Chains A and B, each alone.
Chain A
Amino acid sequence: MTQPSGPHLTPDDLDLWLDGNLSEERQQHLDRCQACLELARAEQEIVDQLQGLTLMSASAGFADRVMQSVVVPDPFAIRSLQTVPRRLLATRKSMAVAASIGLLLLGSMAVSIIWTLGHQTTLLALGSWLLSQGGQLAWLGLRGVASNFMEQPWFENARTVLAHPGRLALASASASVAYLGGVLALRRLLALPTQEVAHANA
């Protein structure tokens, strides 16, 4: 063995050597230095022994025992609502924000109630004006729809057909049958399959 170059291997150098990443320069020192080589071999032996330790496992049924005490979240629960109280009370800042919002809501409700009690006549007058205006608007809308219908080219033909009681009954029966058929078809489409589809869970 020739004279080794540079200082002895540091613990970091030994780590690099154990991981196979030692630089060429330090490797040259290691190849020539008996003391470092002995140390490195001893370290390697320790690491080999550690890596060869017996694999250990917990006793059978470990997962079942753990799962007995684990709460699996309900996927259909509204998570955001569930965590609202916890989030509101999480920090001082969030508590202050929650308290401010609460005070603002309560304050505005109180002001609203006080104003209502003091202005009952005004509120009654406003209510009756809104009611009359609303009624007028609804009547105008109905008249508009009716006159629109009457101006349609097919209106006279439909009126002739429906003027005869027999034809009216026939048209009503046809409409009822079509409606019933539609409902049954929709129900069949939305029903769950009674038998498991082959390979569906594969």
Chain B
Amino acid sequence: MPVRRVGAPTTGEAAREALDRAALARAWATPPGWLGWLTSANHKSVALRYIVTAFGFFALGGVLAALMRLQLAHPESRLIGPDLYNQIFTMHGSTMMFLFAVPVMEAMGIYLVPLMIGTRNVAFPRMNNFGYWIYLAGGLMLWTSFVLNIGPDTGWFAYVPLSGPAYAPGKRVDIWAQLITFTEVAALVAAVEIVVTTLKMRCPGMSLNRMPLLVWAMLITAFMVIFAMPAIMAASTMLAMDRLVDTHFFNPAEGGDALLWQHLFWFFGHPEVYIIFIPATGFVSMIVSTFARRQIFGYPAMVLALIATGFLGFSLWVHHMFATGLPMLGESFFTAASMMIAIPSGLQVFCWLATLRGGRVVVRAPLLFALGFIALFVLGGLTGVMLAAVPFDLQAHDTYFVVAHFHYVLIGGALFPLLGAILFWLPKMCGRLPNERLGRWSFWVLFVGFNVTFFPMHLLGLGGMPRRVYTYATDAGFATGNAAASVGAVILTAGVLLFAANIAWTLRRGAPAGDNPWGGETLEWATSSPPPIYNFAYLPTVDGQAPLWSPHERPVVTGLRTDVREILITDAIDATPDHRQRLDGASIWPLLTAMAGTAGIVTALFTPWGVTIGALLLLVTLTGWFWPRAGHDHAEQAP
């Protein structure tokens, strides 16, 4: 291992390492077969499962988008009726935001953070497994209900009173409210994992100021999740209660308030988009530094920019409500905050540009995605500054101008970095190199297709086309823009298929990747591709920000037991070793707990007794989960 020594190991050391690796492989092994798949406590396999599932939902959401573009390609089209169209755009937004964007970012964190900080697993391996199952249950519930015509149809933000008991009959909105429950529990689980792992399990020497920028991004994102999710959990619970048990949270005639929903939702909703964006900036930082062959310019500034973005993200939410008639002075505060957040984001962009300027750039497909991100995100950010101003927002709010803006910052600002990150870390995950030509082609087709689809939407919005309309009049003047956008959607789809083809090709025919095919500087490149289940034979130590680029060798951690799952807990600030910790292995209880929770939540759609049923079932499964194990201190495998 490069971190370990210069020159070849002695025969004795090599033999000892081989024995240690064999012991670690046994200690950390997952049971074989499908039982192992259901009970896995390996952060990498759970994370990969999460990423694959999230991309599956991305594909489904993309199909919905294609249907919308098909319907809107011609004026007064009768292809899709209003009821189905309302379900489609609601499902598109909910799938992309709740089932794809946040989960995939957190899953990348679950995969990469332990590797980047030099430890063997996440802090709570079984809870990690539980998080995946509860996420999958939520996604399956939503999509099954869509197939059964119970898909939610009041938009991904479900404003009351339209989504309330009087105007949304049936169970559609209840399904949406419970989707929130599932996905927010999963998001909180992953966030807690990332926070605890990052703060307590970093390898010795990796003080906070030596953490890779991606780890900083994930840490800040995780804190944002913890603070933002409760708002929407409260809101969706209140809505479910209004609909099921006759409460009046949002009934103006009985003391409730329709605007309360909007405040609660957007207090979550705005940080949500930064939860999606900040990990993407982490990806870009890693990709740019690797391919510019130098560390990111201005590390302290970048960290402060991330922290500032995280904080400021919580002070912007009213900019979604400028048309509701709130007092002007209050709205001005939110204009100021919404414009101010452009400063840390701009600082990050300038630092990346400086990195490229001061480095020796090698262009590969992952870097193309990062560069495309810079172009698209700056454009999207500029339209965001326009929308931050109340006067202009009063014209552009709820029009296709906003649709264009948020797709620029979400696709350009988050999906492009994500795709670049997939290509970048694919060799690490599967041990094979992606096809460079397919990578470049997929980038260009995606870039062109994206711009052809979404740029005309700025013009459509300025021309007066509102959002969430299933059709428009022939004489409204929207036909050309919509036709162009629909053509762009075809190109965009081709780009997605090319990217998928690259992944498929890589898995089948990709050239074997060594430990560090791109020449990266962080610790995940110091182990094999794919990493062994125990990540590192010996946990590394670091004394700088770019351990693999430093000229001298570093000692490794020895003395941890190899016959049980033992890791090293370090101090939160300076990462000095503190104590050893025994982690748990594979267990069926997370799956059973997820099933119990699912049973309770789904029953609660129909009767409040579901809460009681769920609580009783959870009592049983949580007891099983936390039952103290006899022989925990002996070298025994958990079942």
Instruction: Indicate, yes or no, whether A interacts with B.
Output: no
Partner-B contacts on A (CB < 8 A): none
